[in-house]
Every structure is written in structure tokens, then in C-alpha cells.
Amino acid sequence: MKSTTAITEEPKQVCDLCGSARYLVFATRGRGGSKLTTVICEDCGLVYTNPRPTERENSKFYHTSYWGAYKNQSMPDERFFQRRLPKIRPILAQLRPYLKPGVRVLEIGCSVGALLWSMKEVVGSTGQFIGIEPHEGHAQFAREKKGLEVHNGLLEEVSHKLKPASFDLVVMNHVLEHTISPTATLVTVKKLLKPHGHYVVEVPNVEAPGSRLSHFFHVAHHYSFSPRTLQRLAQKSGFAAKRVDSLDGDLPGTRLNAVFEKPTAAETGVTTRFIRDDANERAAALRRYERWYWLTAASFRKKITHWQRQRM
């Protein structure tokens, strides 16, 4: 993979997490050899794509292209839905303690509704399960075939239709890394949650990419979080971080999973003391991971997993 480390004086965009304009350029190519510049913030260590698309470009991409161009699933069917079920099982198991009678749940980026539908199966008719999905075909499948309430659009386009402070639980499963501004997303999520409501978020873990870096950096992933940068995002947005864990996925630690709680108005106080994720250490750790990935049997095991999944 072609990668360089240099400090640039003319930033294209500032860091969404800390507002800094200083960054290291870590890589200039992404998945499939695409031209994609990945940088590491010199001040907080956030790994992000720079430049990233505008909100309008991002909206167009998710409304029309994402599932078609990148997942080859622009017209979902029952088989696609069934294939999603084993994938959402780990997060469903984690969410079970929150799935009490009468619970009100929002899933942002629900695709065909496999997780929403499964949560509904657990709780039954007393619960309310609402989804947001930008792809019209996927949203339509969830609505028409699975009887789910799904709003078609990005969070920022449809959040006004949802009642503030009305959800017990908001879930984003491998979606936050696709947003243009994670900070803006968390602020909206916090607005939608009831006091003491929970936000469960899972993203790829930049501490354990689980693949070659040239595959990990993806045009649709604008951010790559570490436990520290994700925790800092929660603190910045006024959440209490109950838990931030690296969980095993295809390979050890690849799932970065967190539970944040919305404090009551009296408890709210945005923390300003953060643990910094050092940019140079992050760059060195990424290179170490890439060497480990090639030197161990990890890459081979991953190929087997992919092959097994495709046969399911």
C-alpha cells in the first residue's frame, strides 16, 4: 500500500472531533485501489478521510448508490433478509437487556430491518420499533415485507419527524463511520433519547482493522474510530460512556462496541478532559497491525470466513 507521513499546512477540512486543522497524511489509496486520502488528526488522533464528500454528495450516494454499487443489493429480497439475520445476532444478544415491554427503539441505518424485526420478535406488540434508512428499496422492503415503521432518508433529513426525548434506545450498527459529522449525529441522537436512554453504537475498530489497510480504508467510511476517539466523541456530545469495548468479530477485537447514556438535565456537563489518541502512535500501530496481518495466518482465516458466509 502506498502511504506517506507528512504534516500538511493547508488542510482541506478540520477534524470533526476536536476542530484541529493539523493532521498526518497516512494513506492515499483505499479499497480496490481507489484514490482516498486517510489522515490522522495531530491533536486528537481521529483517523478520517480528507477531503470527505459534502452533505449533499453523501445524501445522494446513500439514497441511490451505496447498496447497489458497493453491496450489489439495490433490490433486496427475502434471501438477502435471511442472510442478514446471523450477522445481527451478536448485537441482538447484547441488546436483550434493554428489550423490555413497552420499550421504544430507533435504529439508524436499518437497511432491510433484520435487527429491528428481530428486536420486535423479542418484545412483542408492546414495543415500538422505528427505523431510518436512506435507501428507498431497503426501506420499502422493511415496510412492506416486514411491516416495520421505517423513514426513508438520512438521520438529518428525517429526524424532525421524530418526537424529541421519546426513545429508550437508539442503535447504530456499523453506521456512524458513514456519517459526514459524527458529532452532529450524536447531538441529534441525544435529543431523541429520553433522559437515561441508551445509545448503542458499533463501528469498525481502527485498533484492529481485521484486514489489509488498503481494504479497510473505504470510500464510504469517513471515520475510523479507536476506543479513545469514540469515548471522546461521547464525552464531547454530553453522553456518559457506560462502556467502550473491543469485541471479537472475524478477527480479535475488530468490533468497537459502546454503550452511552443520556444524562438528565441536572447531570449534564460536557467533559473537557480527554485522553488523547496520539497520531504518531496510531500511525505506528496501524503499520504494526498490517505487518501482523500478513505475517500470521489471519489473512488466510479471513478468506475462509468470507467463503463460508457466501455459501450460507
Residue 44 makes contact with Zn ion by CB under 5 A: yes
Size of the site for Zn ion (CB under 5 A): 8
Closer of 43 and 157 to Zn ion (Cβ): 43
Residue 15 touching Zn ion (CB under 5 A): yes
CA 218, chain centre distance (Å): 13
- Please report how close the Cβ of residue 89 comes to Zn ion at its closest, in angstroms: 34
Of positions 24, 27, 39, 41, contacts Zn ion by CB under 5 A: 41
Residue 302's CB is within 10 A of a number of other CB atoms, namely: 18
Task: Name the one range near Zn ion by CB under 5 A: 14-22, 188-196, 197-205, 295-303.
Answer: 14-22
Asked if 40 touches Zn ion (CB under 5 A), the answer is no
Q: Is position 220 an interface residue for Zn ion (rule: CB under 5 A)? A: no
Q: Any bridge partners for residue 261, and if so which?
A: 198, 240
> Taking the complex as a whole, how short is the minimal distance between the CB of residue 188 and Zn ion, in angstroms?
21
Stretch that binds Zn ion, among 18-26, 96-104, 200-208, 214-222 (CB under 5 A): 18-26
CA-CA distance, 53 to 30, in Å (whole number)? 15
Which amino acid, one-letter code, is at 178?
A: H
Q: State the amino acid at position 42 in one-letter form.
A: E
- Distance from C-alpha of 27 to C-alpha of 247, rounded to nearest angstrom: 26
Q: Which stretch binds Zn ion (CB under 5 A): 38-46, 118-126, 186-194, 203-211?
A: 38-46
Pairing of strands 104-108, 167-173: parallel
Q: How far is the CB of 182 from Zn ion (least distance, A)?
A: 12
Closer to Zn ion by CB, 232 or 262: give it.
232
Question: If residue 195 lies in a helix (H) or strand (E), which one and from where to where?
Answer: strand 193-204
Applying CB under 5 A, does 170 fall inside the site for Zn ion?
A: no
Q: How far is the CB of 304 from Zn ion (least distance, A)?
A: 37
102 Ramachandran zone, left/alpha/beta (phi>0; psi -120 to 50): left
Angstrom distances, CA of residue 256 to CA of 117, 226, 247, 259:
23, 7, 6, 11
Q: Does 241 bind Zn ion (CB under 5 A)?
A: no
Determine how β-strand 193-204 pairs with β-strand 167-173. Answer: parallel
Q: Least Å distance between CB 22 and Zn ion?
A: 8
**214 vs 224, beta carbon nearer Zn ion:** 224
- Show the cell assigned to 49: 478521510
Q: Cell match 439514497: residue?
A: 63
Residues 6+ apart with CB under 8 A from 198: 98, 168, 169, 170, 242, 259, 260, 261, 262
Give the range of 34-42, 108-116, 140-148, 149-157 binding Zn ion by CB under 5 A: 34-42
Stretch that binds Zn ion, among 15-23, 63-71, 79-87, 213-221 (CB under 5 A): 15-23
Task: Verify binding: residue 180, Zn ion, rule CB under 5 A.
Answer: no
Q: Which three cell numbers stand for residue 300?
A: 488466510
Residues that bind Zn ion (CB under 5 A): 15, 17-18, 20, 41, 43-44, 46
